[in-house]
Structure 1
Amino acid sequence: MIRFDDLGLFVRSAAQGSFSRAAREADLLPGQVSAAIGRLERELGIRLFARSTRSLRLTAEGEAYLPYAREVLETLREGRERLQSESPELRGVLQVAAPSDLGRNLLLPWLTEFRQRHPGLTLRLYVSDQQADVYRDPVDIAIRYGRSQDDSLVALPLVPDNRRLLAAAPAYLARHGPPRSLDELAGHACLLYQLHGRIHDKWSFVLPEGGLRQVGVSGPLQSDDAEVVHRWALAGEGILYKSWLELREDFQTGRLVRLLPELSGEPLPLQLFCPHRRQFSPAVRQLHDWLAERFAALGEPG
């Protein structure tokens, strides 16, 4: 008889491409994951993975079987959540992916309080600027900036009017002065962010008369972690182009000064993404409502 736990470890191992990484996520030993896959292969009479000392990949039979395993697990999950929806107490595991800076500095206390209000819920937070794949990665929802190119994803708005703004620390402005126009950005140290190997050195702005203008920028500091870029700005190392959500408190305290306030940066809506509506569990629905209320309390983007 096929064990559902073995199916779950098969799906997790396929997503991670490694028994060891799947074991760490499930808080098991690699040998336990390997044994589970072996049991499943014996029950099915097929080889699911091609193994070597350095790699693990699905066989053709494993690729064919994977969507069925996912569907079985999703059906079990849906049934469990439907039963739980009849109870006011949230239970189970909720796995959330969020951007690094936003996740650590704004979402973390809100998610912690949400979990405290629902002690039967286990919350797993994955903080990274690498965009989570809600179909393959072990996450239920992803909180992301921007709009998805995948029409199959369901997006729930959190801050639809969010946008990027220019900012710098008083220490930097005391040394170099503020730019008085977009053209003057070329003469400043701009702090650059790198995502998926691409450096974001083209900054876009909404002009007062309408339309967009893109400006090429450069600087001696760049990172693939948005929080690192933020910290450089706070240390007076250069000019930052970043989400209002992550800058609002710095503006209020004076740690950063908004530059060229007559210009708006490019729109950057914040949304909560789910793979499909079947995953709108009570925990997901309540978390969305919880976060939407807290974002609304921050006010309108400046």
Structure 2
Amino acid sequence: MLAEEEKYALWRITLLVIMKIQRIDDLAVFLHTVEAGSFSAAARQLNLAPAVASASIKRLEEQLGARLFERTTRRLRLSEAGERYLPHARAAFQALRDAEQALEADATTLTGTLRLTLPSNLARSHLLDWLENYLARQPGIRMELQVSDRVADLYQQPIDLAVRYGQPEDSSFVALPLAPDNRRVLCASPEYLQRYGAPATVADLRQHNCLCFRLGEAVHDRWRFAAPEPISLRVHGDRVSDDGDTVRRWALRGQGIAYKSYLDIAQHLASGELVRLLPEVTGEPSPLMLLVINRRRLNPALRQLAGEMAAFCQGL
């Protein structure tokens, strides 16, 4: 009878562990770290960057409100809390793996919560409407959406997919191209051009009010162009924002010249609300990518989502 009571107690605590875990990957990193004796060794076994493994343990400890490892310069060992947590973590991991395997046959259909982060301008111009149409065909998805130009920390935040401009700096990410040939283009409203005229050369931008974007602490006031010859020019203006959509709205209101991703303003160029400037000049590359933090997450359903989103973006 006691054995049955012990099994029930273990099952109950295991269920609580499962309910507190946001990512099964974090449990995997914890268990591999226990076996391997270090974050770096666990990362190698799981084919992860060491920073990813360390962030997983940190996230797990924050979720549990307890330190799982005692760290010194020479060794890494389980804390008292980690020792108590270990058997339940093993049972929880196995239960979650069993659940995942039970759903593998349905891997071509997205279900559950999809956590997605999008850049502000592209989201409001195009992707929010596209996602509504996509979700109408995927009734099993609950979406958590972050719309921001701040670069989300995919190690620390519970995000499944990130749509970003530019090549990822971290080579451990899986990067699926959505619009690999996208570039930045110069643009202004007809109202602005009527008042101030259009620049005849890149150098003429120094005489215009240029609308700049801030990412973190860096203001993107050095605009680079690839052809007919590489050139880099520092511009000036009376408006700076860390929100790309705000820069777009300023341009539409005739406040200055913007240097935007073509995808962000394609509809305004087509309608005539914005005019492309110096079309003979090739702008800076701005490839659009869909990032996945872990290759194991990249099931057929996510590849299908990426393919549909890529077809949409390339058709703009």
State if a TM-score over 0.5 links the two structures: yes
Confirm or deny that 1:86 pairs with 2:100.
Answer: no
Counterparts of 1:242 and 1:200 in 2: how far apart (Å)? 11
Counterparts of 2:307 and 2:80 in 1: how far apart (Å)? 39
Q: Which residue of 2 aligns with 1:100?
A: 120
1:146 alignment partner, one of 166, 172, 176: 166
Question: Aligned AA for 1:254?
Answer: G
Counterparts of 2:261 and 2:91 in 1: how far apart (Å)? 40
Counterparts of 1:215 and 1:271 in 2: how far apart (Å)? 26
Confirm or deny that 1:5 pairs with 2:25.
Answer: no
Report the TM-score when normalising by structure 1.
0.75
1:223 alignment partner, one of 231, 241, 245: 241
For structure 2, the residue ranges without an aligned partner over 5 or more in a row are: 1-12, 27-60, 69-77
Counterparts of 2:238 and 2:286 in 1: how far apart (Å)? 25
Counterparts of 2:250 and 2:265 in 1: how far apart (Å)? 13
Question: Aligned AA for 1:145?
Answer: Y
Asked whether the equivalents of residues 193 and 225 of structure 1 are also in contact (C-alpha less than 8 Å), the reply is yes
Q: Describe the SS at the equivalent of 1:86.
A: helix
Residues 35-74 of structure 1, C-alpha deviations (whole Å, 9 max, x = no match): xx99956xxxx656xxxxxxxxxxx959989xx9999988
Counterparts of 1:39 and 1:224 in 2: how far apart (Å)? 30
Confirm or deny that 1:177 pairs with 2:204.
Answer: no
Structure 1 stretches of 4+ moved >6 Å? 62-65, 68-78
For structure 1, the residue ranges without an aligned partner over 5 or more in a row are: 12-36, 49-59
Q: Which residue of 1 aligns with 2:177?
A: 157
Would the alpha carbon gap of residues 200 and 39 (structure 1) be closer, same or farther in structure 2, given more than 3 Å must change?
A: closer
Aligned residues: 254
Would the alpha carbon gap of residues 236 and 98 (structure 1) be closer, same or farther in structure 2, given more than 3 Å must change?
A: same
2:252 alignment partner, one of 228, 234, 246: 234
Asked whether the equivalents of residues 110 and 302 of structure 2 are also in contact (C-alpha less than 8 Å), the reply is no
Asked whether the equivalents of residues 93 and 123 of structure 1 are also in contact (C-alpha less than 8 Å), the reply is yes
Counterparts of 1:61 and 1:213 in 2: how far apart (Å)? 56
Question: Aligned AA for 1:263?
Answer: V
2:232 alignment partner, one of 214, 219, 222: 214
* Residue 283 of structure 1, CA deviation: 3.6
Pairwise CA RMSD: 3.1
Question: Aligned AA for 2:128?
Answer: L
Would the alpha carbon gap of residues 5 and 236 (structure 1) be closer, same or farther in structure 2, given more than 3 Å must change?
A: same
Would the alpha carbon gap of residues 199 and 293 (structure 1) be closer, same or farther in structure 2, given more than 3 Å must change?
A: same
Counterparts of 1:120 and 1:131 in 2: how far apart (Å)? 28
* Residue 80 of structure 1, CA deviation: 4.3
Counterparts of 1:186 and 1:228 in 2: how far apart (Å)? 22
* Percent of aligned pairs with the same amino acid: 40
Residues 110-152 of structure 1, C-alpha deviations (whole Å, 9 max, x = no match): 1111111010111121110011122211110101000111111
* Residue 81 of structure 1, CA deviation: 4.7
Would the alpha carbon gap of residues 71 and 78 (structure 1) be closer, same or farther in structure 2, given more than 3 Å must change?
A: same
Would the alpha carbon gap of residues 183 and 40 (structure 1) be closer, same or farther in structure 2, given more than 3 Å must change?
A: closer
Residues 248-271 of structure 1, C-alpha deviations (whole Å, 9 max, x = no match): 111110000000110011101000
Question: Aligned AA for 1:90?
Answer: L
Residues 205-244 of structure 1, C-alpha deviations (whole Å, 9 max, x = no match): 0121x4x210110000111111001000000000000000
Would the alpha carbon gap of residues 79 and 162 (structure 1) be closer, same or farther in structure 2, given more than 3 Å must change?
A: farther
Question: Aligned AA for 1:139?
Answer: I
Q: Which residue of 2 aligns with 1:118?
A: 138
Q: Which residue of 2 aligns with 1:201?
A: 221
Q: Point out the structure with the larger helix share.
A: 2
Would the alpha carbon gap of residues 171 and 207 (structure 1) be closer, same or farther in structure 2, given more than 3 Å must change?
A: same
* Residue 291 of structure 1, CA deviation: 0.4
Asked whether the equivalents of residues 84 and 90 of structure 1 are also in contact (C-alpha less than 8 Å), the reply is no
Report the TM-score when normalising by structure 2.
0.72
Residues 61-102 of structure 1, C-alpha deviations (whole Å, 9 max, x = no match): 59989xx99999888766545533423543111111110111
